[in-house]
A = this chain, B = another copy of it.
């Protein structure tokens, strides 16, 4: 990893804080929730209101969906972005949404507070370069089979274009195992915290694909040092167009949020850190 110039910790830079509205990601725990896709205004606003109430501090929702099949729902595009803006107005929550196409970066940045680059685009270099120029923080998901070095090099594509605000996101790797959708790799979270100044969060929804495993994996992520979690939540999962099997109800997310905040507070308390009370 000798070739990494901007993503490794230095004496001067041990921690990047990414400002999103009144949050500082890297210091404040990111609790990102929302549906896989923006399906319509009602579904989006309703879910946004409920995840806000449940403790979320950032709202997620996809307007451009990367779908394996060209015949699957591809997202609402601009209409979806407008619905997301409305959700922000209604809830005050900042919005993160995915971009797929380098041609869309500059104008989608007008609607979103954070642009997400998804797992399939981890080495889409033109998209990474545009992300480096868009003026908004970037949530950079690790790919399905990305090494630590490759992940940080992809971050460097963004950083080296002048955008210092990269948030890494682990979302599971594709492996031989079959009981989960992916194999969530929390060691890489600890490794990122060890060598890089960039914040890193965890998406256990894609990381496991199993609702029953999302709550314990959120807690494990925080114990591993993650700066936040991103969870798929739908006000009515049975109606979800994508990923309905892994969407949680807002109430379940509420319990996760409460426990995550309490766990983070415990782990970062002076007593725990100093070991004095242990």
Contacts and interface: CB of A to CB of B under 8 A. Distances in A.
Given A176-B176, A220-B223, 10 more contacts: A68-B153, A71-B156, A147-B176, A148-B179, A179-B188, A179-B191, A186-B217, A193-B216, A216-B224, A259-B272
A175 to B, nearest CB: 5
Given A124-B120, A175-B173, A186-B220, A277 B263 contact: no
B125 A66 contact: yes
Interface stretch (A10-18, A22-30, A81-89, A100-108): A100-108
Contact of A179 (B144, B149, B258): B149
Interface string A34-68: 00000000000000000000000000000000111
A125 B67 contact: yes
How many monomers of this chain does the complex have?
A: 4
A265 to B, nearest CB: 9
A187 B186 CA distance: 9
Contacts of A194: 212-213
A258 B271 CA distance: 12
A174 interface: yes
Interface in A240-266: 255, 258-259, 261-263, 266
A185 B188 CA distance: 11
B100 A103 contact: no
Interface string A145-175: 1011110010011001000000000000111
Nearest to A186: B220
A145 B185 CA distance: 15
A268 to B, nearest CB: 12
A234 to B, nearest CB: 22
